Amino acid sequence: MPTTRVIIDTDPGIDDALALILAFASPEVSVEAITTVAGNVSVSQATRNVCLLLDVVDSHPRPPVAKGAARPLTRPLRTAQRYHGEDGLGELFRFKTEAGESRYPDPRQHLAPQPAPALIIEQISAAPGEIVLICIGPLTNLATAIQTAPAEMAKVKEIVIMGGAIQAPGNVTPVAEFNMHTDPEAAGLVFASGLPITLVPLDVTQRVLLTAELIDALVRHVGGRVTQFVHDATERLFRIEQDRTGRAATPLHDPLAIGAVIDPSLVTRRPFYVQVETGAGPAQGMTIADRRQMLEKEKQPPNLQVCMEVDAGRFVAIFLERICRPLT
């Protein structure tokens, strides 16, 4: 089985952390670099959270971590800390060891010298046709990299983006998904780039659910530092979801973007021409796919492959099996 070399651009964020754990537990992918972007939390908090997660998974070798955009291209940043917690990881500072110390001490932060877009450009141009860039936060870093070095970015093997909502309702407004809504200008620039892009929208991510009962069972029967982290990072979120929806369950949005690279057969892709609404009105961040049944020559050619179906049960089973694997 060939190993896919990936860069992960992320705004952790609880589901981002679960996605990173899945990536490090999966032999099908090699995490070559991690870049951070403002989104769920500030970029400084996102960068700290990546370093904390790397301490938890204790990955060797440790991939370079580059800090990215502190705000969207043109708009102010609006975080999602109400959902992900003040620290972006379910308020891990609440958890103590038996000795009364923090279960998750401040991480070692050894960052790459260059900013995120520069690291993305460098790694892609150094390995033409080999790197898959997986974006699981707002697309600010990716848009900046494309604007800075379009010819170099054209050497990317594929870009996989968690974001958008095609037929599904939005999750931050009735029509917009958070990553697109946070930086619609960046998303519009990326979608118009002509690069090979696979979109993993809410239409499929909302079908892959993680539940509190699954996590509780894992902690009881498997144990270990990673499953304990998953429990601690999701515990507050499950309470919020229980109050909000009556069910202690949360979608594995970002992990499914990793899943689409680990095993492309998990999702069914369909080519669409997709635009992003950049106006400031109620449709801000809406992703509009041309799904009309008409002759191809009568409409814009597709610019994205959009995942519209998912083998949800098989993906959740893969996710649970992987997070229980002993750390290498």
Amino acid identity at 176 = A
Q: Is 13 in the site for Ca ion (CB under 5 A)?
A: yes
Tokens 């991480």, residue? 107
Work out how close the CB of 137 gets to ligand RIB at its nearest, in angstroms, rounded to a whole number: 5
| CB-based contact 57:63 (threshold 8 Å) | no
Nearest CA to 308 among 202, 194, 196?
A: 202
CA 151 to chain centre: 25
Q: Is 285 in the site for ligand RIB (CB under 6 A)?
A: no
Task: Mention every residue, 6+ apart, whose C-beta is less than 8 A from residue 263.
Answer: 28, 318
Q: Which does 171 bind (CB under 5 to 8 A by kind): Ca ion, ligand RIB, none?
A: ligand RIB
Q: Is 16 in the site for ligand RIB (CB under 6 A)?
A: yes
Q: Is 221 a catalytic residue?
A: no
Using the Cα atoms of residue 136, residue 137, residue 143 and residue 145 in order, give the sign of their dihedral. Answer: negative
Work out how close the CB of 77 gets to ligand RIB at its nearest, in angstroms, rounded to a whole number: 12
The span from the CA of 197 to the CA of 205, in Å, is 17
Give whichever of 69 and 149 is closer to ligand RIB, judged by the CB atom.
69
Stretch that binds ligand RIB, among 13-21, 242-250, 282-290, 292-300 (CB under 6 A): 13-21
Bridge-partner residues for 209, per DSSP?
Answer: 251
Among 20, 89, 131, 136, binds Ca ion (CB under 5 A): 136
Residue 91 main-chain phi, psi, to 5 deg: 60, 60
Among 117, 137, 164, 188, binds Ca ion (CB under 5 A): 137
Work out how close the CB of 227 gets to ligand RIB at its nearest, in angstroms, rounded to a whole number: 20
The span from the CA of 131 to the CA of 134, in Å, is 10
Half-sphere exposure of residue 214: CA atoms within 13 angstroms, side-chain side: 18
Name which of residues 103 to 162 contact ligand RIB (CB under 6 A). Answer: 136-137, 162
The span from the CA of 60 to the CA of 222, in Å, is 22
Q: Which does 177 bind (CB under 5 to 8 A by kind): Ca ion, ligand RIB, none?
A: ligand RIB
Q: Is 284 in the site for ligand RIB (CB under 6 A)?
A: no
Q: Locate 60 and state its tokens.
A: 């060797």
3-state secondary structure (DSSP) of residue 243: helix
Give whichever of 57 and 204 is closer to ligand RIB, judged by the CB atom.
204
Q: Is 45 in the site for ligand RIB (CB under 6 A)?
A: no
Give whichever of 14 and 149 is closer to Ca ion, judged by the CB atom.
14
The span from the CA of 127 to the CA of 108, in Å, is 29
Q: Locate 96 and state its tokens.
A: 């103590």
Q: Is 177 in the site for ligand RIB (CB under 6 A)?
A: yes
Q: Is 9 in the site for ligand RIB (CB under 6 A)?
A: no
Work out how close the CB of 14 gets to Ca ion at its nearest, in angstroms, rounded to a whole number: 9
Q: Which does 42 bind (CB under 5 to 8 A by kind): ligand RIB, Ca ion, none?
A: none
What would the x/- binding string for ligand RIB be over residues 216 to 255, using CB under 6 A? -------------------------------------xx-
Q: Residue count at the site for ligand RIB (CB under 6 A)?
A: 15
The torsion of the CA quartet 20, 26, 32, 35, rounded to 10 degrees, works out to: -10
Please compute Rg for the chain using Cα positions. Answer: 19
Among 16, 87, 235, 311, binds Ca ion (CB under 5 A): 16
3-state secondary structure (DSSP) of residue 281: coil
Q: Which residues bind to Ca ion, rule: CB under 5 A?
A: 11, 13, 16, 136-137, 254
Question: Which positions are catalytic?
Answer: 253
Q: Which residues bind to ligand RIB, rule: CB under 6 A?
A: 11, 13, 15-16, 39-40, 136-137, 162, 171, 177-179, 253-254
